[in-house]
Chain A
Amino acid sequence: MTPPMVEARGLFKRFTLPRHSLFAASRTVTAVEGVSFAIPAGTTFGVVGESGSGKTTLARMLLKLEQPSEGQLLVNDQDIFAQTPAEERAYRRLVQAVFQDPYGALSPRMRAGAIVTEPLRALGVHRRAADMKAAEVLELVGMRRDAASRYPHEFSGGQRQRIAIARALSVDPRLLVLDEPVSALDVSVRAQVLALLREMQQRLGLTYLFIGHDLAVVRYLSDAVGVMYFGRMVEIGPARDVLRRPAHPYTRRLVALAAAEAPLGVARLGGGTLPNPLSPPSGCHFRTRCAFADARCAADAPALREIAPGHNAACHHLDAIAAGTKAETGPLLEEASRQRAV
């Protein structure tokens, strides 16, 4: 079997928050907690989760915008946080990114052509060659050639996102980090951009890390999916399996909510609360919103375990839930004292 293009091994990322006062202890938030996954070359790994799940931090580490506190992130078997300057330059050429906001991603004072050629110019490519490449990639993403001489405000949101994709493709990368690339777009345009991303992957053999919160969109593009909840990977496996036969109670709820025919109120909780990232609940983080939580969930954190080939979930009650024999005991809330400390 060929080695994966991207491999994360036990990644942690902790942020230290500024102190409340001079004498207060400094507080840390764990944004990513022991996350491991692998992305085979030419495939898409989708990461889903709600805000605060740590999925964006994951993307930023792969882009080397953040450094992990622990663990390794390997790309083509090379630890990207132990690179020589020459290796780093090569890596910058290998990986590119497309972000959510088509308005923030393009500098308002640069023409589309200059925006698209910026990564090339940073690599020292000559201006003439860069301009030719810009025209080529702009055409590739379905923009007219004359777009190069116009400013971002002259384009619609969908067109801007196309320019952002063209920019990412200009250096012939092998790996694209897509952080909610279609969330800010209108529905009809979203479909165009998703189709474009899929086409680019097929034509250029790209590898994608796709971050999203819309499950249907993630499933459209992804081969494998990881579900994150408050920093932990709670379920991971082939996209079809995870999103059609979800095992973890959290994934089950997300999938139920995403169904096109879902009635109002499928996610109704019996008074569950979102955990406070500063003092996450003991044991399983999801126990404060889970219908199946019991004492064991508060006592230890469940580890990922395999339920089908390549399909893992982290829950103590997987079998009972799957068999439908687990009683719904309601969420296990935090002690009142910790609640007040918010």
Chain B
Amino acid sequence: MPPARLPILAIAVCVLLIVAALLGGVLAPYAADEADFGAVMVPPYGLEGGTVAHLLGTDQLGRDMLSRLIAGTRISMLTAGAAVLVAGTIGVLLGLIAGYLGGLVDAAIMRLVDAFLALPFILMALALVAALGTGVGNIILVMILTNWARYARLVRSEVLSIKRRDFVLLARVAGVRPLTIAMRHVLPNAQTSILVLAVLDVGRAIILESSLSFLGLGIQPPDMSWGLILAQGRTYMGIAWWLTVWPGLAIVLAVVCFNTVGERLRVKFDPRGAL
């Protein structure tokens, strides 16, 4: 195996998705919710009846699929990104506290972690949506609640091994304050594993959001996400495959690419994985 091959394609797709999410509407040829009843269910370009005007075809209301996918990218990526960011921050902080302080605090935090990891995700999502209602904010909240525990667990185990290392002992001997030790020694040495988990988690979060939206528990119209587009196109699967294939493909592509990049990072930073 050539050791230094970068997954260039996967990195490119990830960058493209992030750019699409940030720029959103600027890239899209049409407004995502612009209906055109003169061009309903136009097939993608290249098929009989397809036009260059609608490269990926249109849906049952004549909305441009490409524009809808780009709009969906925005919501899907932003929810995934926000969820990973917030869940990561909370998890890292709690893991740091648990690992560093140990004792009762550690026990309390880790039991909470176990409880959250044990709850079935869909059940928790259902309960939360029932209690709080749907919407972008709530879907992010659901994803934070289901994800933070994994960061806490990872960081705690990293802290436990790092805090036994000589340079941490020496910092204690020198009288460095615990908070400084955590920020200067423990976090930097744990950062690669956190980063790897976060990148892998983006793929996971995209799937979660799509599943929720597909079930009608997540993003609600007129907002748009890949899962929601998929759900709306399901009825017409038999006569207009492009309504479901494009969003499905987008989800698969995004997840595969983020996982590839994450895996590659893991191999790069894990000395046991190298060589």
A interface residue numbers (CB < 8 A to B): 63-65, 88-89, 92-93, 95-97, 99, 101, 104-110, 115, 118-119, 121-123, 164, 167, 171
Q: Contact between A99 and B170 (Cβ–Cβ < 8 Å)? A: yes
B interface residue numbers (CB < 8 A to A): 165-167, 169-177, 180, 184-185, 188-189
For B172, list chain A residues within 8 Å (CB): 65
Q: Contact between A107 and B167 (Cβ–Cβ < 8 Å)? A: yes
B167 contacts which of A92, A105, A121 (Cβ < 8 Å)? A105
Q: Contact between B169 and A88 (Cβ–Cβ < 8 Å)? A: no
Q: Contact between A119 and B166 (Cβ–Cβ < 8 Å)? A: no
Q: Contact between A107 and B189 (Cβ–Cβ < 8 Å)? A: yes
Question: In whole angstroms, how far apart are the Cα atoms of A92 and B177 in the complex?
Answer: 12
Q: Contact between A118 and B173 (Cβ–Cβ < 8 Å)? A: no
A-B contact pairs, 29 of them (CB 8 A): A63-B169, A64-B173, A65-B169, A89-B175, A92-B173, A96-B174, A97-B169, A97-B170, A97-B173, A99-B166, A99-B169, A101-B166, A104-B165, A104-B166, A105-B166, A107-B185, A107-B189, A109-B188, A118-B171, A118-B174, A118-B176, A118-B184, A119-B176, A121-B176, A122-B171, A122-B175, A122-B180, A164-B170, A171-B174
Question: If the complex has contacts A101-B166, A104-B166, are A119 and B185 also in contact, measured as CB distance less than 8 A?
Answer: no
For B169, list chain A residues within 8 Å (CB): 63, 65, 97, 99
For A122, list chain B residues within 8 Å (CB): 171, 174-177, 180
For B170, list chain A residues within 8 Å (CB): 97, 99, 105, 164, 167
Q: Contact between B175 and A119 (Cβ–Cβ < 8 Å)? A: yes
Question: In whole angstroms, how far apart are the Cα atoms of A104 and B171 in the complex?
Answer: 12
Q: Contact between B174 and A92 (Cβ–Cβ < 8 Å)? A: yes
Q: Contact between A123 and B175 (Cβ–Cβ < 8 Å)? A: yes
Which interface residue of A64, A107, A115, A171 has the most chain B CB atoms within 10 A?
Answer: A107
Question: In whole angstroms, how far apart are the Cα atoms of A115 and B167 in the complex?
Answer: 9
**Which chain B residue lies CB-closest to A102?**
B166
For B173, list chain A residues within 8 Å (CB): 63-65, 92, 95-97
For B165, list chain A residues within 8 Å (CB): 104
Given contacts A89-B175, A99-B170, A110-B184, 17 further A-B pairs with CB under 8 A are: A64-B173, A88-B175, A93-B175, A96-B173, A96-B174, A105-B170, A106-B167, A107-B167, A107-B185, A109-B189, A118-B171, A118-B174, A118-B184, A119-B176, A121-B176, A122-B171, A167-B170
For A92, list chain B residues within 8 Å (CB): 173-175
Q: Contact between A104 and B175 (Cβ–Cβ < 8 Å)? A: no
For A64, list chain B residues within 8 Å (CB): 173
For A88, list chain B residues within 8 Å (CB): 175
Question: In whole angstroms, how far apart are the Cα atoms of A151 and B165 in the complex?
Answer: 17
**Which chain A residue lies CB-closest to B164?**
A104
**Which chain A residue lies CB-closest to B187?**
A109
**Which chain A residue lies CB-closest to B180?**
A122
Q: Contact between A119 and B188 (Cβ–Cβ < 8 Å)? A: no
Q: How far is the CB of A81 from chain B (nearest CB, A)?
A: 15
Q: How far is the CB of A104 from chain B (nearest CB, A)?
A: 4
Question: If the complex has contacts A65-B173, A96-B174, A123-B175, are A104 and B180 also in contact, measured as CB distance less than 8 A?
Answer: no
Q: How far is the CB of A97 from chain B (nearest CB, A)?
A: 5
Q: Contact between A104 and B167 (Cβ–Cβ < 8 Å)? A: yes
Question: In whole angstroms, how far apart are the Cα atoms of A115 and B172 in the complex?
Answer: 13
Q: How far is the CB of A153 from chain B (nearest CB, A)?
A: 12
Question: In whole angstroms, how far apart are the Cα atoms of A110 and B188 in the complex?
Answer: 9
Q: How far is the CB of A92 from chain B (nearest CB, A)?
A: 3
Question: In whole angstroms, how far apart are the Cα atoms of A121 and B172 in the complex?
Answer: 13
Question: In whole angstroms, how far apart are the Cα atoms of A331 and B95 in the complex?
Answer: 51
For A121, list chain B residues within 8 Å (CB): 176
For B167, list chain A residues within 8 Å (CB): 104-107, 115
For B180, list chain A residues within 8 Å (CB): 122
For B184, list chain A residues within 8 Å (CB): 107, 110, 118
Which interface residue of A63, A88, A89, A109 has the most chain B CB atoms within 10 A?
Answer: A109
For A106, list chain B residues within 8 Å (CB): 167
For A105, list chain B residues within 8 Å (CB): 166-167, 170
Q: How far is the CB of B45 from chain A (nearest CB, A)?
A: 51
Question: In whole angstroms, how far apart are the Cα atoms of A30 and B165 in the complex?
Answer: 23
For B171, list chain A residues within 8 Å (CB): 118, 122
Question: In whole angstroms, how far apart are the Cα atoms of A99 and B164 in the complex?
Answer: 13
Question: In whole angstroms, how far apart are the Cα atoms of A65 and B174 in the complex?
Answer: 11
Q: Contact between A119 and B174 (Cβ–Cβ < 8 Å)? A: yes
For A101, list chain B residues within 8 Å (CB): 166
